[in-house]
Amino acid sequence: MPDQGGPLIVIDHISKRYGQQVAVDDLAFEVKPGVVTGFLGPNGAGKSTTMRMIIGLDRPDSGQITIDGRRYAEHRAPIHEVGALLEAKAVHPARSARNHLLADGATTGVTPARVDEVLDLVGLSGAAGRRAADFSLGMSQRLGIAGALLADPQILLFDEPVNGLDPEGILWIRGLLADLAAQGRTVFVSSHLITELGAVAEHLVIIGRGRLIAEIPMSELGAGAEQRGVHVRSPQAGRLAELVRGEGVAVRAGADREVIEISGLDSRIVGERAAAAGIVLYELTPRTVSLEQAFMDLTRDSVDYPAHLDASATDRSAA
Amino acid sequence: MSMVDETRGLARDGAELAVTQRRVVRSEWIKLRSVRSWTVMALAAAVLMIAFGALAASVASGAVTQTGPRPGGGPFASTDPTAISLAGVTLAQLIVGVLGVLFISNEYANGMIRSTFAAVPRRLPVLWAKALVLFGVLAGLMVVATLASFLVGQAILGDGKNTTLAADGVLRAVLGAGLYLTGIGVLGIAVGALMRNTAGAISIVVATLLIIPGLARLILPEDWNTTLTPYLPSNAGSAFTSVSGSDTLLSAGAGAAVFVGWLVVLLAAAAVLIRRRDA
| Percent of chain A scoring above 70 in pLDDT | 86
Sheet (strand A9-18) strand order: A21-31, A9-18, A62-67
pTM: 0.83
Which whole number is the average pLDDT over A4-22?
A: 86
Which of the four pLDDT bands, split at 50, 70 and 90, describes residue A99?
Answer: very high
Q: Is residue B75 part of a domain?
A: yes
Tens-place pLDDT, residues B43-75: 999 999 999 999 999 988 876 666 655 554 544
Closest residue by Cα to residue A187 from A86, A39, A36? A36
Please give the interface size between A and B, counted as residue pairs whose CB atoms are below 8 Å apart: 136
Q: How far is A241 from chain B (nearest CA, A)?
A: 56
CA-based radius of gyration for chain B: 22
Which whole number is the average pLDDT over B218-223?
A: 86
Class of the domain covering A9-223: alpha beta
Which whole number is the average pLDDT over B202-215?
A: 93
The listed range with the strongest mean pLDDT (A163-167, B4-8, B45-49) is B45-49
How many CB atoms neighbour CB B197 within 10 A?
16
When comparing pLDDT for B266 and B11, which is higher? Answer: B266
Which of the four pLDDT bands, split at 50, 70 and 90, describes residue A147?
Answer: very high
Given a cut of 90, is residue A194 above it in pLDDT? Answer: no
When comparing pLDDT for A133 and B78, which is higher? Answer: A133
Residue of chain B whose alpha carbon sits nearest to that of A71 = B121
- A81, B14: Cβ pair inside 8 Å? yes
Write down the domain spans for chain A.
9-223, 227-288
Average pLDDT, chain A: 86
Tens-place pLDDT, residues A105-133: 999 999 999 999 999 999 999 999 999 99
Looking at residue A88, what is its pLDDT? 79
Q: Is residue B12 part of a domain?
A: no
Cβ of residue B163 closer than 8 Å to a chain A Cβ: no
Cβ of residue B119 closer than 8 Å to a chain A Cβ: yes
- A108, B18: Cβ pair inside 8 Å? yes
- ipTM metric: 0.88
Cα–Cα distances in angstroms (integers) from residue B137 to residues A10, A18, A122, B46, B133, in the given order: 44, 39, 34, 12, 6
Given a cut of 90, is residue A84 above it in pLDDT? Answer: yes
Torsion sign (Cα): B255, B261, B262, B267: positive
Cβ of residue B121 closer than 8 Å to a chain A Cβ: yes
d(CA B238, CA B209): 11
Cβ of residue B168 closer than 8 Å to a chain A Cβ: no
- B15, A76: Cβ pair inside 8 Å? yes
Cβ of residue A22 closer than 8 Å to a chain B Cβ: no
Q: Is residue B194 part of a domain?
A: yes
Q: Which residues in chain A touch residue B30, judged by CB atoms under 8 angstroms apart?
A: 99, 102-103, 106
Range of the domain at B63: 21-276
Which whole number is the average pLDDT over B260-270?
A: 98
Looking at residue B77, what is its pLDDT? 42
How many CB atoms neighbour CB A69 within 10 A?
12
Q: How far is A83 from chain B (nearest CA, A)?
A: 9
Q: Is residue B40 part of a domain?
A: yes
Looking at residue A7, what is its pLDDT? 62
When comparing pLDDT for A190 and B214, which is higher? Answer: A190
Whether the CB-CB separation of B181 and B146 falls below 8 Å is answered with yes
Tens-place pLDDT, residues A29-72: 999 998 999 999 888 899 999 999 999 999 999 999 999 999 99
Cβ of residue B37 closer than 8 Å to a chain A Cβ: yes
Given a cut of 80, is residue A149 above it in pLDDT? Answer: yes
Given a cut of 90, is residue A309 above it in pLDDT? Answer: no
| Percent of chain B scoring above 70 in pLDDT | 89
Q: Is residue B14 part of a domain?
A: no
Looking at residue A291, what is its pLDDT? 65
For helices B36-61 and B124-157, what crossing angle results, to 10°? 30
Domain count for chain B, please give it. Answer: 1
Cβ of residue B199 closer than 8 Å to a chain A Cβ: no
CATH code of A227-288, in short, is 3.30.70.790
Given a cut of 60, is residue A162 above it in pLDDT? Answer: yes
Tens-place pLDDT, residues A289-306: 666 666 776 666 665 444
Q: Is residue B16 part of a domain?
A: no
Looking at residue B69, what is its pLDDT? 56
- B24, A95: Cβ pair inside 8 Å? no
Tens-place pLDDT, residues B104-118: 999 999 999 999 999
Whether the CB-CB separation of B249 and B239 falls below 8 Å is answered with yes
